């Protein structure tokens, strides 16, 4: 059954634009920081808010982007994606903020109860947020197919049947998409 896909259109920048942003970040004009902020500030801020709480998150987010700008010559788009690099800086800033203020118990009002934050949990959160972000970066159709694979645990054949796409297309598109996710994950863990 060849029902047309009814999937959510992309809300974010397309991958090509993000790649272009990464490539120009080190030597681009000052407004490239604004582009980077537009693209990645919610990722960085959410990571900070969930790690150090809403009070400190604003300051830490600022520190991350100021440091990234000062040290942008150290970013190499050939080695990793900007999102992963920024999250890496944020991870350092978060641990530093926690250490400096001896603030390991975070009372995040968006959560039901206070929870303990450890370096490991900060790292795990970073990994999950980068993964979710990377998935959002995939072309919308690839993302939809992968979502069916992990969310509904459908096989290639079932997805092919569901979407009306040829089995070979489903297989190769999911494989390419997952490879891309893996690359981004590996890079952000450097």
Partner 1 sequence: MTDPESSYSERELELLASLRDLESDDWQLDSPPAHVWAGIERAIRERPAIEAALPSVADEGVANQRGSGRVASSRRWWLVAASIVAVVCVGVGAVALFDGDNANEVVVAATELSSAGLDGAPEGLRGDASVIETTGGQMIEVDIGNLRPASGEFLEVWLIRPDVSGMVSLGTARPDGRYELPPGMRLADFPIVDVSTEPYDGDPVHSGASLLRGVLPS
> Min. distance of Cβ 133 from partner 1 in angstroms?
8
Query: Under a CB-based contact definition with an 8 Å cutoff, are residues 2 and 164 in contact?
Result: yes
How many residues are recorded in the chain? 190
Per-residue x/- mask for partner 1, residues 2 to 41, rule CB under 8 A? ------------------------xx--x--xx--x---x
137 binds partner 1 (CB under 8 A): no
DSSP 36-74: HHHHHHHHHHHHHHHHHHHHHHHHHHHHHHHHHHHTGGG
Site string for partner 1, 141-180 (x = CB under 8 A): -----x--xxx-x-xxxx--------x---x--xx--x--
Q: Which of 132, 164, 166, 176 binds partner 1 (CB under 8 A)?
A: 132
Nearest partner of 125 among 48, 59, 17, judged by Cα? 48
Contact 167, 156 (CB under 8 A): yes
Q: Please give the backbone phi and psi of residue 130, each rounded to the nearest 5 degrees, phi first.
A: -65, -40
Q: Residue 103 Cβ, how far from partner 1 at the closest point, in Å?
A: 16
Phi, psi angle pair for 103, to nearest 5° = -115, 80
Please answer whether residues 93 and 100 qualify as being in contact, where contact means their C-beta atoms are separated by less than 8 angstroms: no
- Binding to partner 1 (CB under 8 A) within 74-93 occurs at 74-80, 85, 88-89, 92-93
Helix (H) or strand (E) holding 96: helix 82-101
Minimum gap (Å) between residue 85 Cβ and partner 1 = 6
Report the nearest approach of partner 1 to the CB of residue 70 (Å). 5
Contact by Cβ (8 Å): 53, 108: yes
Nearest to partner 1 of 6, 70 (CB atom): 70
DSSP 8-state symbol, 181: H
Cα separation, 146 vs 152, in Å, equals: 10
CB of 104 vs partner 1, minimal distance in Å: 18
Binding site for partner 1 (CB under 8 A): 26-27, 30, 33-34, 37, 41-46, 49-50, 57-58, 61-63, 65-67, 69-80, 85, 88-89, 92-93, 96, 127-129, 131-133, 135, 146, 149-151, 153, 155-158, 167, 171, 174-175, 178, 181-182, 185, 190
């Amino acid at each position: 059954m060849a029902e047309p896909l009814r999937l959510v259109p992309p809300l974010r920048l397309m991958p090509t634009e993000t790649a272009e942003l990464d490539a120009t970040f080190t030597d681009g004009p000052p407004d490239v920081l604004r582009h980077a902020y537009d693209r990645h500030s919610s990722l960085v801020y959410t990571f900070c808010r969930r790690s150090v709480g809403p009070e400190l998150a604003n300051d830490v987010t600022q520190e991350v982007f100021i440091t990234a700008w000062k040290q942008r010559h150290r970013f190499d788009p050939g080695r990793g994606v900007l999102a992963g690099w920024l999250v890496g800086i944020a991870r350092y800033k978060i641990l530093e903020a926690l250490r400096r203020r001896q603030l390991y118990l975070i009372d995040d009002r968006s959560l039901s109860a206070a929870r303990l934050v450890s370096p490991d949990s900060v790292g795990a959160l970073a990994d999950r947020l980068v993964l979710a972000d990377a998935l959002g970066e995939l072309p919308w159709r690839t993302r939809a197919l992968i979502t069916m694979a992990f969310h509904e645990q459908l096989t290639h054949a079932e997805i092919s049947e569901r979407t009306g796409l040829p089995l070979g297309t489903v297989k190769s598109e999911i494989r390419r998409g997952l490879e891309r996710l893996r690359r981004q994950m590996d890079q952000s863990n450097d």
